[in-house]
Amino acid sequence: MAVRRILLIVGGGIAAYKSCELVRLIRKGGGEVTCVVTEGGQHFVTPMTLAALSEKPVYTTLWDLKNEAEMGHIQLSREADLVVVCPATADLMAKMAAGIADDLATTLLLATDKPVMAVPAMNVRMWEHPATRRNVARLRDDGVTVLEPDEGPMACGEYGAGRLPEPEAIWQAIRAFGSPDPLAGQPDFAGENHRPLHGRHVLVTAGPTHEPIDPVRYIANRSSGKQGFAIAEAAAAAGAQVTLIAGPVHLDTPPGVDRYDVESAAEMLDAVESALPAEVAIMVAAVADWRAAECANRKIKKDGSGEVPPLALAVNPDILSSVAASPARPRLLIGFAAETDDVVAHAQAKRLRKGADWIVANDVSGPPGTSVMGGDSNTVHLVTADGVEDWPAMPKDKVAAALIERVAENCRAHNGMKDDA
Protein backbone atom coordinates (compact mmCIF):
# COMPACT_ATOMS: atom_id res chain seq x y z
CA MET A 1 0.00 0.00 0.00
CA ALA A 2 1.09 3.57 -0.68
CA VAL A 3 0.11 4.72 2.83
CA ARG A 4 0.90 2.62 5.89
CA ARG A 5 0.59 4.84 8.96
CA ILE A 6 -2.84 6.36 9.41
CA LEU A 7 -3.82 9.02 11.92
CA LEU A 8 -7.56 8.47 12.33
CA ILE A 9 -9.62 11.36 13.71
CA VAL A 10 -13.01 10.16 14.90
CA GLY A 11 -15.65 12.91 14.91
CA GLY A 12 -18.89 13.06 16.88
CA GLY A 13 -21.62 11.43 14.81
CA ILE A 14 -23.67 8.26 15.01
CA ALA A 15 -21.48 6.77 12.23
CA ALA A 16 -18.49 6.91 14.62
CA TYR A 17 -19.10 3.26 15.49
CA LYS A 18 -18.06 2.34 11.93
CA SER A 19 -14.59 3.77 12.62
CA CYS A 20 -13.97 0.71 14.83
CA GLU A 21 -14.43 -1.56 11.82
CA LEU A 22 -12.20 0.76 9.77
CA VAL A 23 -9.41 0.40 12.35
CA ARG A 24 -9.73 -3.37 12.08
CA LEU A 25 -9.60 -3.30 8.26
CA ILE A 26 -6.56 -1.00 8.14
CA ARG A 27 -4.69 -3.28 10.51
CA LYS A 28 -5.76 -6.41 8.67
CA GLY A 29 -4.45 -4.79 5.47
CA GLY A 30 -1.02 -4.26 7.08
CA GLY A 31 -1.44 -0.63 8.19
CA GLU A 32 -0.90 1.06 11.55
CA VAL A 33 -3.56 3.32 13.08
CA THR A 34 -3.27 5.96 15.76
CA CYS A 35 -6.66 7.28 16.87
CA VAL A 36 -7.74 10.69 18.06
CA VAL A 37 -11.34 11.04 19.25
CA THR A 38 -13.12 14.36 19.55
CA GLU A 39 -15.24 15.07 22.62
CA GLY A 40 -18.36 14.41 20.53
CA GLY A 41 -16.86 11.22 19.17
CA GLN A 42 -16.43 9.90 22.71
CA HIS A 43 -20.20 9.95 23.13
CA PHE A 44 -20.43 7.29 20.41
CA VAL A 45 -17.24 5.25 20.77
CA THR A 46 -14.93 4.96 23.74
CA PRO A 47 -11.18 5.57 23.62
CA MET A 48 -10.83 2.15 25.27
CA THR A 49 -12.44 0.38 22.29
CA LEU A 50 -10.22 2.20 19.80
CA ALA A 51 -7.11 1.54 21.93
CA ALA A 52 -7.92 -2.16 22.07
CA LEU A 53 -8.49 -2.37 18.30
CA SER A 54 -5.50 -0.23 17.30
CA GLU A 55 -3.22 -1.55 20.09
CA LYS A 56 -1.97 2.00 20.53
CA PRO A 57 -2.71 4.86 22.94
CA VAL A 58 -5.73 6.95 21.92
CA TYR A 59 -5.50 10.75 22.17
CA THR A 60 -8.43 12.87 23.29
CA THR A 61 -7.28 16.20 24.64
CA LEU A 62 -4.94 19.01 23.85
CA TRP A 63 -4.31 19.59 27.52
CA ASP A 64 -2.98 16.17 28.41
CA LEU A 65 0.47 17.30 29.57
CA LYS A 66 1.71 13.77 30.03
CA ASN A 67 1.15 13.03 26.38
CA GLU A 68 2.48 16.44 25.37
CA ALA A 69 5.71 15.55 27.15
CA GLU A 70 5.86 12.19 25.42
CA MET A 71 4.61 13.26 22.04
CA GLY A 72 3.77 16.81 21.00
CA HIS A 73 0.68 17.33 18.89
CA ILE A 74 2.79 18.61 16.00
CA GLN A 75 4.76 15.39 16.00
CA LEU A 76 1.56 13.32 16.26
CA SER A 77 0.17 15.07 13.18
CA ARG A 78 3.30 14.39 11.18
CA GLU A 79 4.08 10.81 12.04
CA ALA A 80 1.35 9.55 9.73
CA ASP A 81 1.38 9.00 5.97
CA LEU A 82 -2.27 10.04 5.78
CA VAL A 83 -4.71 11.75 8.15
CA VAL A 84 -8.24 10.34 7.85
CA VAL A 85 -11.20 12.15 9.41
CA CYS A 86 -13.98 9.61 9.85
CA PRO A 87 -16.72 10.44 10.38
CA ALA A 88 -16.21 14.03 9.26
CA THR A 89 -19.21 15.84 10.73
CA ALA A 90 -20.56 19.09 9.28
CA ASP A 91 -19.14 20.92 12.30
CA LEU A 92 -15.69 19.37 11.99
CA MET A 93 -15.52 20.16 8.26
CA ALA A 94 -16.65 23.75 8.93
CA LYS A 95 -13.82 24.15 11.43
CA MET A 96 -11.32 22.54 9.04
CA ALA A 97 -12.42 24.86 6.23
CA ALA A 98 -12.13 27.91 8.47
CA GLY A 99 -8.81 26.89 10.05
CA ILE A 100 -10.23 26.80 13.57
CA ALA A 101 -8.05 24.90 16.05
CA ASP A 102 -9.92 24.68 19.35
CA ASP A 103 -9.37 21.05 20.31
CA LEU A 104 -6.83 18.30 19.70
CA ALA A 105 -8.40 17.04 16.43
CA THR A 106 -8.65 20.46 14.78
CA THR A 107 -5.20 21.50 16.04
CA LEU A 108 -3.68 18.38 14.49
CA LEU A 109 -5.51 19.05 11.24
CA LEU A 110 -4.14 22.59 11.11
CA ALA A 111 -0.63 21.51 12.08
CA THR A 112 -0.23 18.57 9.75
CA ASP A 113 1.91 18.59 6.64
CA LYS A 114 0.48 15.25 5.50
CA PRO A 115 -2.41 14.60 3.07
CA VAL A 116 -5.87 14.64 4.63
CA MET A 117 -8.90 12.58 3.66
CA ALA A 118 -12.34 13.43 5.08
CA VAL A 119 -15.18 10.92 5.07
CA PRO A 120 -18.37 12.90 5.65
CA ALA A 121 -21.41 11.58 7.47
CA MET A 122 -24.40 13.71 8.37
CA ASN A 123 -28.09 14.29 7.79
CA VAL A 124 -29.01 14.83 4.11
CA ARG A 125 -30.21 18.43 4.72
CA MET A 126 -26.94 19.26 6.46
CA TRP A 127 -24.99 17.70 3.57
CA GLU A 128 -26.99 19.70 1.02
CA HIS A 129 -26.89 22.96 2.99
CA PRO A 130 -25.07 25.75 1.11
CA ALA A 131 -22.73 26.21 4.09
CA THR A 132 -21.60 22.57 3.89
CA ARG A 133 -21.35 22.71 0.08
CA ARG A 134 -19.12 25.78 0.50
CA ASN A 135 -16.98 24.08 3.15
CA VAL A 136 -16.55 20.92 1.06
CA ALA A 137 -15.56 22.98 -1.99
CA ARG A 138 -13.11 24.98 0.14
CA LEU A 139 -11.57 21.82 1.61
CA ARG A 140 -11.18 20.24 -1.86
CA ASP A 141 -9.63 23.49 -3.03
CA ASP A 142 -7.19 23.24 -0.12
CA GLY A 143 -6.20 19.77 -1.31
CA VAL A 144 -8.26 17.71 1.15
CA THR A 145 -9.74 14.54 -0.38
CA VAL A 146 -13.41 14.62 0.59
CA LEU A 147 -15.15 11.33 -0.21
CA GLU A 148 -18.77 11.36 -1.37
CA PRO A 149 -21.16 10.02 1.25
CA ASP A 150 -23.50 7.14 0.38
CA GLU A 151 -27.19 7.54 -0.28
CA GLY A 152 -29.78 5.66 1.70
CA PRO A 153 -31.94 5.60 4.82
CA MET A 154 -30.40 7.55 7.71
CA ALA A 155 -30.29 7.01 11.46
CA CYS A 156 -32.59 10.05 11.83
CA GLY A 157 -35.30 8.43 9.66
CA GLU A 158 -34.75 10.58 6.55
CA TYR A 159 -33.43 9.33 3.20
CA GLY A 160 -30.70 10.73 0.99
CA ALA A 161 -26.99 11.43 0.63
CA GLY A 162 -25.03 11.71 3.84
CA ARG A 163 -24.49 8.17 5.05
CA LEU A 164 -20.94 7.18 5.86
CA PRO A 165 -19.66 4.84 3.10
CA GLU A 166 -19.14 1.26 4.26
CA PRO A 167 -15.80 0.78 6.08
CA GLU A 168 -14.59 -1.56 3.29
CA ALA A 169 -15.15 1.17 0.70
CA ILE A 170 -13.29 3.70 2.90
CA TRP A 171 -10.45 1.23 3.32
CA GLN A 172 -10.30 0.78 -0.48
CA ALA A 173 -10.08 4.56 -0.92
CA ILE A 174 -7.27 4.72 1.68
CA ARG A 175 -5.45 1.86 -0.04
CA ALA A 176 -5.81 3.54 -3.42
CA PHE A 177 -4.65 6.89 -2.07
CA GLY A 178 -1.68 8.33 -3.87
CA SER A 179 -1.51 5.81 -6.76
CA PRO A 180 -2.86 7.87 -9.67
CA ASP A 181 -1.29 5.81 -12.47
CA PRO A 182 -3.81 3.11 -13.39
CA LEU A 183 -1.17 0.81 -14.80
CA ALA A 184 0.86 1.25 -11.63
CA GLY A 185 -1.96 0.50 -9.29
CA GLN A 186 -5.33 1.65 -8.18
CA PRO A 187 -7.75 4.13 -9.76
CA ASP A 188 -7.30 7.77 -8.80
CA PHE A 189 -9.84 8.47 -6.08
CA ALA A 190 -8.19 11.69 -4.94
CA GLY A 191 -9.73 15.14 -5.24
CA GLU A 192 -12.34 15.76 -7.90
CA ASN A 193 -11.82 12.37 -9.51
CA HIS A 194 -12.86 10.20 -6.58
CA ARG A 195 -15.77 7.79 -7.17
CA PRO A 196 -15.83 8.47 -10.91
CA LEU A 197 -18.49 5.79 -11.52
CA HIS A 198 -20.87 7.13 -8.87
CA GLY A 199 -24.51 6.63 -9.92
CA ARG A 200 -23.72 4.16 -12.74
CA HIS A 201 -24.85 0.54 -12.86
CA VAL A 202 -22.07 -1.88 -13.82
CA LEU A 203 -22.85 -5.54 -14.46
CA VAL A 204 -20.05 -8.10 -14.14
CA THR A 205 -20.10 -11.86 -14.81
CA ALA A 206 -17.37 -14.00 -13.28
CA GLY A 207 -16.20 -17.53 -12.67
CA PRO A 208 -16.86 -20.76 -14.54
CA THR A 209 -20.21 -22.38 -15.15
CA HIS A 210 -21.00 -25.95 -14.15
CA GLU A 211 -23.07 -27.94 -16.63
CA PRO A 212 -24.65 -30.94 -14.94
CA ILE A 213 -24.34 -34.43 -16.44
CA ASP A 214 -26.17 -36.17 -13.62
CA PRO A 215 -26.82 -35.29 -9.95
CA VAL A 216 -23.13 -35.80 -9.03
CA ARG A 217 -21.14 -34.95 -12.16
CA TYR A 218 -20.68 -31.81 -14.19
CA ILE A 219 -18.64 -30.23 -17.00
CA ALA A 220 -16.49 -27.35 -15.75
CA ASN A 221 -13.37 -25.30 -16.51
CA ARG A 222 -10.43 -23.90 -14.56
CA SER A 223 -11.72 -20.34 -14.09
CA SER A 224 -11.28 -19.19 -10.47
CA GLY A 225 -13.40 -16.03 -10.78
CA LYS A 226 -10.53 -13.92 -9.36
CA GLN A 227 -10.30 -11.53 -12.32
CA GLY A 228 -14.06 -10.90 -12.47
CA PHE A 229 -14.31 -10.41 -8.69
CA ALA A 230 -11.37 -7.98 -8.79
CA ILE A 231 -13.16 -6.00 -11.52
CA ALA A 232 -16.41 -5.92 -9.52
CA GLU A 233 -14.44 -4.73 -6.48
CA ALA A 234 -12.65 -1.99 -8.43
CA ALA A 235 -15.94 -0.80 -9.97
CA ALA A 236 -17.59 -0.61 -6.53
CA ALA A 237 -14.58 1.23 -5.11
CA ALA A 238 -14.98 3.72 -7.98
CA GLY A 239 -18.53 4.36 -6.77
CA ALA A 240 -20.55 2.22 -9.22
CA GLN A 241 -23.63 0.23 -8.28
CA VAL A 242 -22.28 -3.22 -9.11
CA THR A 243 -24.22 -6.40 -9.88
CA LEU A 244 -21.98 -9.46 -9.93
CA ILE A 245 -23.34 -12.67 -11.45
CA ALA A 246 -21.00 -15.39 -10.21
CA GLY A 247 -20.60 -18.99 -11.28
CA PRO A 248 -19.45 -21.53 -8.66
CA VAL A 249 -16.30 -20.05 -7.02
CA HIS A 250 -14.72 -19.95 -3.56
CA LEU A 251 -14.41 -16.19 -3.20
CA ASP A 252 -15.82 -13.64 -0.75
CA THR A 253 -18.20 -11.03 -2.08
CA PRO A 254 -16.29 -7.76 -2.60
CA PRO A 255 -17.49 -4.86 -0.45
CA GLY A 256 -20.45 -2.91 -1.76
CA VAL A 257 -21.25 -5.44 -4.53
CA ASP A 258 -24.65 -7.13 -5.10
CA ARG A 259 -23.85 -10.76 -5.85
CA TYR A 260 -26.05 -13.44 -7.41
CA ASP A 261 -24.76 -17.01 -7.54
CA VAL A 262 -25.60 -19.27 -10.46
CA GLU A 263 -24.42 -22.71 -11.60
CA SER A 264 -25.03 -23.19 -15.31
CA ALA A 265 -24.81 -21.01 -18.44
CA ALA A 266 -28.62 -21.03 -18.74
CA GLU A 267 -28.95 -19.73 -15.16
CA MET A 268 -26.26 -17.11 -15.83
CA LEU A 269 -28.13 -15.87 -18.92
CA ASP A 270 -31.37 -15.56 -16.90
CA ALA A 271 -29.59 -13.69 -14.10
CA VAL A 272 -27.89 -11.32 -16.56
CA GLU A 273 -31.17 -10.56 -18.33
CA SER A 274 -32.85 -9.81 -15.00
CA ALA A 275 -29.98 -7.52 -13.95
CA LEU A 276 -30.26 -5.32 -17.07
CA PRO A 277 -30.39 -2.40 -17.75
CA ALA A 278 -26.82 -1.45 -16.97
CA GLU A 279 -24.69 1.29 -18.45
CA VAL A 280 -21.62 -0.94 -18.56
CA ALA A 281 -21.37 -4.75 -18.69
CA ILE A 282 -18.11 -6.62 -18.29
CA MET A 283 -18.47 -10.29 -19.15
CA VAL A 284 -15.52 -11.98 -17.52
CA ALA A 285 -17.14 -15.38 -16.92
CA ALA A 286 -15.66 -18.43 -18.60
CA VAL A 287 -19.04 -19.72 -19.70
CA ALA A 288 -19.02 -23.38 -20.76
CA ASP A 289 -19.61 -23.54 -24.51
CA TRP A 290 -21.35 -26.90 -24.26
CA ARG A 291 -23.61 -28.67 -21.81
CA ALA A 292 -24.75 -32.27 -21.58
CA ALA A 293 -27.60 -32.58 -24.09
CA GLU A 294 -29.58 -34.35 -21.39
CA CYS A 295 -29.02 -34.22 -17.66
CA ALA A 296 -29.78 -37.64 -16.10
CA ASN A 297 -32.10 -37.56 -13.08
CA ARG A 298 -30.13 -40.30 -11.38
CA LYS A 299 -26.44 -41.05 -11.10
CA ILE A 300 -25.25 -42.80 -14.26
CA LYS A 301 -23.96 -46.25 -13.16
CA LYS A 302 -21.32 -48.45 -14.77
CA ASP A 303 -23.13 -51.37 -16.39
CA GLY A 304 -20.24 -53.83 -15.98
CA SER A 305 -19.61 -54.14 -19.74
CA GLY A 306 -16.59 -51.82 -19.65
CA GLU A 307 -18.26 -49.62 -22.29
CA VAL A 308 -18.23 -45.83 -21.71
CA PRO A 309 -21.67 -44.26 -21.65
CA PRO A 310 -22.39 -41.90 -24.55
CA LEU A 311 -22.18 -38.21 -23.61
CA ALA A 312 -24.00 -36.06 -26.15
CA LEU A 313 -23.35 -32.31 -25.91
CA ALA A 314 -25.57 -29.37 -26.79
CA VAL A 315 -24.46 -25.80 -27.51
CA ASN A 316 -24.97 -23.29 -24.69
CA PRO A 317 -26.40 -19.81 -25.30
CA ASP A 318 -23.71 -17.18 -25.87
CA ILE A 319 -24.48 -14.66 -23.14
CA LEU A 320 -22.24 -11.89 -24.50
CA SER A 321 -23.73 -12.11 -28.01
CA SER A 322 -27.26 -12.23 -26.71
CA VAL A 323 -26.70 -9.15 -24.51
CA ALA A 324 -25.13 -7.38 -27.51
CA ALA A 325 -28.26 -8.07 -29.56
CA SER A 326 -30.72 -7.23 -26.78
CA PRO A 327 -32.78 -4.01 -26.78
CA ALA A 328 -31.32 -3.42 -23.29
CA ARG A 329 -27.74 -3.55 -24.61
CA PRO A 330 -25.43 -1.70 -22.20
CA ARG A 331 -23.83 1.39 -23.71
CA LEU A 332 -20.37 -0.07 -23.09
CA LEU A 333 -20.17 -3.85 -23.51
CA ILE A 334 -16.87 -5.53 -22.69
CA GLY A 335 -16.00 -9.18 -23.26
CA PHE A 336 -12.98 -11.24 -22.27
CA ALA A 337 -11.26 -13.66 -24.58
CA ALA A 338 -9.25 -16.60 -23.35
CA GLU A 339 -6.91 -17.67 -26.14
CA THR A 340 -3.96 -19.99 -26.44
CA ASP A 341 -2.69 -18.83 -29.86
CA ASP A 342 -2.99 -15.83 -32.21
CA VAL A 343 -4.33 -14.04 -29.14
CA VAL A 344 -4.94 -10.59 -30.65
CA ALA A 345 -6.22 -11.78 -34.05
CA HIS A 346 -8.73 -14.12 -32.41
CA ALA A 347 -9.79 -11.37 -30.01
CA GLN A 348 -10.35 -8.90 -32.84
CA ALA A 349 -12.51 -11.42 -34.68
CA LYS A 350 -14.37 -12.23 -31.46
CA ARG A 351 -15.11 -8.53 -30.83
CA LEU A 352 -16.85 -8.22 -34.18
CA ARG A 353 -18.53 -11.62 -34.07
CA LYS A 354 -19.97 -11.12 -30.59
CA GLY A 355 -20.88 -7.43 -30.99
CA ALA A 356 -18.76 -6.22 -28.04
CA ASP A 357 -17.24 -2.74 -27.84
CA TRP A 358 -14.02 -3.91 -26.21
CA ILE A 359 -12.41 -7.29 -25.75
CA VAL A 360 -9.85 -7.89 -23.05
CA ALA A 361 -7.77 -10.69 -24.50
CA ASN A 362 -5.61 -12.90 -22.36
CA ASP A 363 -3.15 -15.61 -23.18
CA VAL A 364 -4.14 -18.77 -21.34
CA SER A 365 -1.55 -21.00 -22.99
CA GLY A 366 0.55 -23.28 -20.81
CA PRO A 367 0.08 -26.76 -19.43
CA PRO A 368 -3.19 -27.34 -17.51
CA GLY A 369 -3.01 -25.84 -14.03
CA THR A 370 -0.08 -23.49 -14.77
CA SER A 371 -1.80 -20.85 -16.86
CA VAL A 372 -3.50 -17.57 -16.02
CA MET A 373 -6.71 -19.47 -15.24
CA GLY A 374 -6.74 -19.81 -11.48
CA GLY A 375 -3.50 -17.84 -11.10
CA ASP A 376 -3.03 -14.35 -9.64
CA SER A 377 -1.55 -12.45 -12.55
CA ASN A 378 -2.60 -11.71 -16.09
CA THR A 379 -1.11 -10.37 -19.34
CA VAL A 380 -3.83 -8.73 -21.39
CA HIS A 381 -4.39 -6.83 -24.61
CA LEU A 382 -7.22 -4.32 -24.79
CA VAL A 383 -8.86 -4.62 -28.20
CA THR A 384 -11.18 -1.76 -29.20
CA ALA A 385 -12.49 -0.30 -32.46
CA ASP A 386 -9.50 2.08 -32.32
CA GLY A 387 -6.80 -0.56 -32.10
CA VAL A 388 -4.94 -2.78 -29.67
CA GLU A 389 -3.13 -1.86 -26.46
CA ASP A 390 -0.67 -4.35 -24.98
CA TRP A 391 -0.62 -4.08 -21.20
CA PRO A 392 2.32 -5.40 -19.19
CA ALA A 393 1.89 -8.51 -17.01
CA MET A 394 0.12 -7.38 -13.83
CA PRO A 395 -1.60 -8.90 -10.81
CA LYS A 396 -5.32 -9.33 -11.45
CA ASP A 397 -6.29 -6.50 -9.08
CA LYS A 398 -4.09 -4.10 -11.05
CA VAL A 399 -5.64 -5.25 -14.35
CA ALA A 400 -9.02 -4.59 -12.73
CA ALA A 401 -8.00 -1.11 -11.56
CA ALA A 402 -6.60 -0.19 -14.98
CA LEU A 403 -9.70 -1.45 -16.78
CA ILE A 404 -12.06 0.42 -14.45
CA GLU A 405 -10.00 3.56 -14.97
CA ARG A 406 -10.54 3.14 -18.74
CA VAL A 407 -14.26 2.56 -18.18
CA ALA A 408 -14.44 5.74 -16.07
CA GLU A 409 -12.67 7.70 -18.85
CA ASN A 410 -15.14 6.32 -21.39
CA CYS A 411 -18.10 7.35 -19.19
CA ARG A 412 -16.64 10.82 -18.69
CA ALA A 413 -16.11 11.22 -22.47
CA HIS A 414 -19.66 10.01 -23.13
CA ASN A 415 -21.06 12.54 -20.64
CA GLY A 416 -18.96 15.24 -22.30
CA MET A 417 -20.51 14.35 -25.67
CA LYS A 418 -24.01 14.53 -24.18
CA ASP A 419 -23.21 17.91 -22.61
CA ASP A 420 -21.96 19.20 -25.99
CA ALA A 421 -25.07 17.96 -27.83
156 is catalytic: yes
Instruction: Show the site string, 246-275: x = touches ligand CTP by CB under 6 A, - = not.
Output: -------------------x----------
The reply to whether 337 sits near ligand CTP by the rule CB under 6 A is yes
The reply to whether 151 sits near ligand CTP by the rule CB under 6 A is no
The reply to whether 280 sits near ligand CTP by the rule CB under 6 A is no
User: Of 20, 156, 295, 411, which is the active-site residue?
Assistant: 156
Binding window for ligand CTP (CB under 6 A); candidates: 15-23, 102-110, 210-218, 332-340:
332-340
The reply to whether 318 sits near ligand CTP by the rule CB under 6 A is yes
Q: Which of 338, 343, 399, 408 binds ligand CTP (CB under 6 A)?
A: 338
User: Which CB sits closer to ligand CTP, 145 or 316?
Assistant: 316
Q: Which of the residues 102 through 121 are near ligand CTP (CB under 6 A)? A: none
Asked whether 213 and 295 are in contact (CB, 8 A), the reply is: yes
The reply to whether 285 sits near ligand CTP by the rule CB under 6 A is yes
Q: How far is the CB of 22 from ligand CTP (least distance, A)?
A: 35
The reply to whether 319 sits near ligand CTP by the rule CB under 6 A is yes
Q: Which of 104, 287, 332, 403 binds ligand CTP (CB under 6 A)?
A: 287
Q: Which residues bind ligand CTP (CB under 6 A)?
A: 205, 265, 283, 285-287, 289, 316, 318-320, 335-338, 350, 354
- Which active-site residues does the annotation give? 156
